[in-house]
Every structure is written in structure tokens, then in C-alpha cells.
């Protein structure tokens, strides 16, 4: 077992083990990838204030996200095609999250179905839904999530139309991969991935294939989004989805205070400041830059979370100190999954937890719930440099 010290170690292994097409899918942003890059580089601009001679015994990273007790303020974000990064990937990630005590969110675009994941975990997980133009499908999938005991619905509100990721087009991304000559040459170098994939029957979009009609290529994310995503989405339709669900709702993909106000007024239990990991509107500011403005606007009315660019416990600390009650991680756990399956997801969570706990201690804090602006040094113009 290699010595893993940080998320980047997992990423290196992941890159070696997983077919190019799926590595590229996770590691892409849209168009020039400016927003994708800045999600991470903006975190690096924020610095931490060291304190000394503070009793650091009895520390706790535990808190709550949407009323759920969590070991640390980190939830696994919904990530499409997770089961292509490693055989049965959603089941493995859900189990690792459950054992660690953090929430797992299953994507509609998962390979393992809702029912399948539910059969392999003990506690409820969260389910993510897109805003589709097919009410019948929306109702059926919401009913399936209820029947599986999911405890919150994460509604993705920033994907009515797909931001272009160049590499997915060039690679002909599909699940399972279509066997073109370049794909086969690449697969030949990924034998452990291939052997595990041959050992599972879960190789298609498990929530979709057999449950939806009228998509020209059910293996293709882009065909599905072009044909089924609701270009006419509005706030009423979001409310309708929330009513259909009737339980806890998290609205993910909010980047403007005005939109955050609307989301809070609808009664969302949490909103996620997110630019979809830089995969949608290229040119949007990073999530960490937008977070404080949104937290100031609606922080008292609903829980504010963020995602985008989190690759360490220090990043979690910075987000919480800037007003996030919690964060979601996507790529950071996918690297672990692709590198080492369930053990890799556990490793990613352990790495982030240890970094968060140690950094918190060195900042002179003993509880994640007491982090705040006093723990940070922020460069001039960082928060108000854009008008
Ligand atoms: C889907 O949500 C994607 O970002 O690919």
C-alpha cells in the first residue's frame, strides 16, 4: 500500500489507474477552464492566522448539516458516472461516507441505482435530482428516492443546459465506453480497472436505463442533457419539485445573493454556493469568492454551504471561517475512489479530517463551530475586487 499523505497523492494514483475518458470527465471544467482553476487557486490566496499557547485538548470537528450530525462539515457531492471511476463506485463511496459519519449524495447520473445503493448501506443517504422537462420521470424518481429512504433531496439548479467540456467531446464520453481504437488502446493499459469492471453488472446509468424513454443515446450524458433538461426552468418549477419531495431540500448551484434570497424564501434547508466545479459557466467567479457575500445576504435564513476547489482540510477551514456551515467535495473523493476503491474514499476523508483538525488546533480553535473571519488573513481586494 503506497504512503498517502495528501489528496494529490490519491490523484496521481487515480490518473494511473482509471481510463483517460473518465479521468478527463472528472478533471475538466467548461471551455477555457478559468473558473475550474480559480476555484482552487483562490483558496490558496487566503491565509490562516496562527495562534499559540491555547489549550488544544478536547477538539471537535463535529457539527450538523441540514440537521444531520456529521463527523466534520463535509458531505460527498453528487458526481455523475462515479461507478465508472471504479466498479460499483457509488456503493463503495456511500459505504465509506457512512462509516466515516459524513453524508453521501447519489447523483441521478450514477451507475449504481438508488435501490442498489440503498441495499448496501444501513443509514439514509441523500439523492440528487436535475431539473428535467419530464414530470413523469421527476415524480417516479422522487418516489423511488422516498421508497429507498433518502433523507434529503439535493436539487441541482445550475444545469438546464450543459457547459461544454472539450475533452468529453474529443473522448466520445459514454457509459460504458464505446470501444473505439483509441479507447481500446487506453483501456489496455488499465487492466485492474477493466478486471473489476468485468466483475460487475453495474456498467450503465442505473437510474435511467429502463426508466426513461425518448433519449437517442442512453449511454451519453450529452444526449440525455440536450433532450431531457428543462430549458424553461423557473422558480415555480423548483417549488413544484420541492413540494413533490416534501422533505429536506438542498438547492445546489447558487452564485448570486439575489438568487440566494429566492432560494431561501422558497424554504430550502440549505443552499450550496457552487459553480458546478467550474463545469458550467466558465468565467464565473470562484465559489469561495462568492461565499461571503451570499452568507451575508441570507446566512440567517438558511444554511449556506459551498463546493468547488476543496482539496484539503485547510480549504474546509477557510470555507467554514468565511460563513459556510458545511462543504461538499466531489473530485477529492473521486480521486480516492479511482485510486483505491472504498479504502481510497476513506483515505480521502481521513486526510481532509486530519488536516482540518490539525490546522484548527494551530489556529487556536478547539471547535469547528467557532471558526470565523478572525482565523483568516485575506488579501486586499479579494472579496470586493470585482463589481
Ligand atoms: C453533470 O452534472 C456534470 O457536471 O457532468
Rounded alpha-carbon distances, angstroms, from residue 251 to 5, 33, 151, 230, 320:
33, 24, 14, 16, 18
Supply the residue whose CA is at minimum distance from atom 3 of ligand 1: 80
Give the position, in ligand 1's atom list, of the atom nearest the Cα of 159: 2
Residues with CB under 6 A from ligand 1: 80, 109, 159, 276, 279
Task: Count Cβ atoms below 10 Å from residue 53 Cβ, excluding itself.
Answer: 6
Find the CATH number of the domain harbouring 271.
3.20.20.70
Phi and psi angles of residue 126, each rounded to the nearest 5 degrees, phi first:
-100, 155
CA–CA separation, 234 and 72 (whole Å): 34
pLDDT at 211: 81
Tell me, yes or no, whether 92 lies in a domain: yes
- Mutational test site, ligand 1, from 31, 79, 168, 228, max ligand atoms within 8 Å of CB: 79
Supply the residue whose CA is at minimum distance from atom 2 of ligand 1: 80
**CB distance 300 to 60 below 8 Å:** no
pLDDT at 222: 77
Residues of the chain with pLDDT under 50: none
Give the position, in ligand 1's atom list, of the atom nearest the Cα of 163: 4
382 CA → ligand 1 middle, Å = 28
169 CA → ligand 1 middle, Å = 14
Give the position, in ligand 1's atom list, of the atom nearest the Cα of 279: 4
pLDDT at 54: 97
Q: 276 an active-site residue?
A: yes
276 CA → ligand 1 middle, Å = 7
pLDDT at 209: 81
166 CA → ligand 1 middle, Å = 13
Tell me, yes or no, whether 177 lies in a domain: no
Tell me, yes or no, whether 120 lies in a domain: yes
Tell me, yes or no, whether 131 lies in a domain: yes
361 CA → ligand 1 middle, Å = 36
Q: Flag whether the pTM goes above 0.85.
A: yes
- Mutational test site, ligand 1, from 30, 131, 221, max ligand atoms within 8 Å of CB: 221
Q: Cβ contacts of residue 287 below 8 Å, gap of 6+?
A: 39, 255, 273, 274, 275, 306, 307, 308, 309
CA–CA separation, 138 and 369 (whole Å): 36
Supply the residue whose CA is at minimum distance from atom 1 of ligand 1: 80
**CB distance 383 to 289 below 8 Å:** yes
Tell me, yes or no, whether 359 lies in a domain: yes
Tell me which of 120, 166, 211, 276 is the catalytic residue.
276
The DSSP output letter for 30 is S
Tell me, yes or no, whether 187 lies in a domain: no
Among residues 155, 89, 165, which one has the least CA distance to residue 334? 89
pLDDT at 170: 95
pLDDT at 131: 87
> Which residues does residue 106 pair with via DSSP β-bridges, in sequence order?
127
pLDDT at 153: 98
pLDDT at 5: 98
3 state DSSP class of 290: helix
165 CA → ligand 1 middle, Å = 10
Cell numbers placing 89: 463506485
Supply the residue whose CA is at minimum distance from atom 5 of ligand 1: 80
Within 13 Å of residue 317, how many CA atoms lie on the same side as its CB?
A: 31
CA 249 vs. chain centroid, Å, equals 16
Q: Which domain holds residue 271?
A: 7-165+197-377
DSSP H helices in 86-132: 89-100, 114-120
Q: How many domains does the chain have?
A: 1
314 CA → ligand 1 middle, Å = 26
Tell me, yes or no, whether 175 lies in a domain: no
- Mutational test site, ligand 1, from 27, 158, 159, 229, max ligand atoms within 8 Å of CB: 159
Among residues 86, 90, 66, which one has the least CA distance to residue 148? 90
Supply the residue whose CA is at minimum distance from atom 4 of ligand 1: 279
Tell me, yes or no, whether 2 lies in a domain: no
Amino acid at each position: 500500500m503506497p504512503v498517502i499523505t495528501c489528496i494529490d497523492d490519491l490523484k496521481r494514483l487515480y490518473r494511473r489507474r482509471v481510463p483517460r475518458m473518465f479521468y478527463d470527465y472528472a478533471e475538466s471544467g467548461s471551455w477555457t477552464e478559468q473558473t475550474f482553476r480559480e476555484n482552487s487557486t483562490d483558496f490558496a490566496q487566503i491565509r490562516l492566522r496562527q495562534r499559540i499557547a491555547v489549550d488544544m485538548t478536547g477538539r471537535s470537528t463535529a457539527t450538523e448539516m441540514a440537521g444531520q450530525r456529521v463527523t466534520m462539515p463535509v458531505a460527498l457531492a453528487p458526481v455523475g458516472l462515479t461507478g465508472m471511476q471504479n466498479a460499483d463506485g457509488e456503493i463503495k463511496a456511500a459505504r465509506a461516507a457512512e462509516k466515516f459519519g459524513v453524508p453521501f449524495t447519489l447523483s441521478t447520473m450514477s451507475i449504481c441505482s438508488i435501490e442498489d445503493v440503498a441495499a448496501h448501506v444501513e443509514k439514509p443517504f441523500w439523492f440528487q435530482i436535475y431539473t428535467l422537462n419530464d414530470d413523469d420521470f421527476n415524480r417516479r424518481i422522487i418516489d423511488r428516492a422516498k421508497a429507498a429512504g433518502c433523507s434529503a433531496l439535493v436539487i441541482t439548479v445550475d444545469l438546464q443546459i450543459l457547459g461544454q467540456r472539450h475533452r468529453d467531446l474529443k473522448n466520445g464520453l459514454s457509459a460504458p465506453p464505446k470501444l473505439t481504437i483509441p479507447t481500446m488502446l487506453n483501456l489496455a493499459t488499465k487492466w485492474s480497472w477493466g478486471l473489476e469492471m468485468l466483475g460487475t453488472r453495474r456498467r450503465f446509468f442505473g437510474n435511467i436505463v429502463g426508466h426513461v424513454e425518448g433519449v437517442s443515446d442512453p449511454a451519453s450524458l450529452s444526449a440525455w442533457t440536450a433532450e431531457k433538461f428543462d430549458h424553461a426552468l423557473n422558480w415555480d418549477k423548483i417549488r413544484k419539485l420541492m413540494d413533490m419531495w416534501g422533505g429536506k431540500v438542498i438547492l445546489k448551484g447558487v452564485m448570486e445573493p439575489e438568487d440566494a434570497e429566492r432560494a431561501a424564501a422558497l424554504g430550502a434547508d440549505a443552499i450550496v454556493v457552487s459553480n458546478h466545479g467550474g463545469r458550467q459557466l466558465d468565467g464565473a467567479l470562484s465559489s469561495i469568492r462568492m461565499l461571503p457575500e451570499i452568507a451575508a445576504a441570507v446566512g440567517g435564513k438558511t444554511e449556506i454551504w459551498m463546493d468547488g476547489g476543496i482539496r484539503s482540510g485547510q480549504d474546509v477551514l477557510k470555507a467554514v471561517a468565511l460563513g459556510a456551515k458545511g462543504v461538499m467535495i466531489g473530485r477529492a473523493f473521486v480521486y480516492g475512489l479511482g485510486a483505491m476503491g472504498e479504502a481510497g474514499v476513506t483515505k480521502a476523508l481521513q486526510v481532509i479530517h486530519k488536516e482540518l483538525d490539525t490546522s484548527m488546533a494551530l489556529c487556536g480553535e478547539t471547535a469547528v463551530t467557532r471558526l470565523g473571519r478572525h482565523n483568516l488573513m485575506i488579501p486586499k481586494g479579494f472579496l470586493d475586487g470585482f463589481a
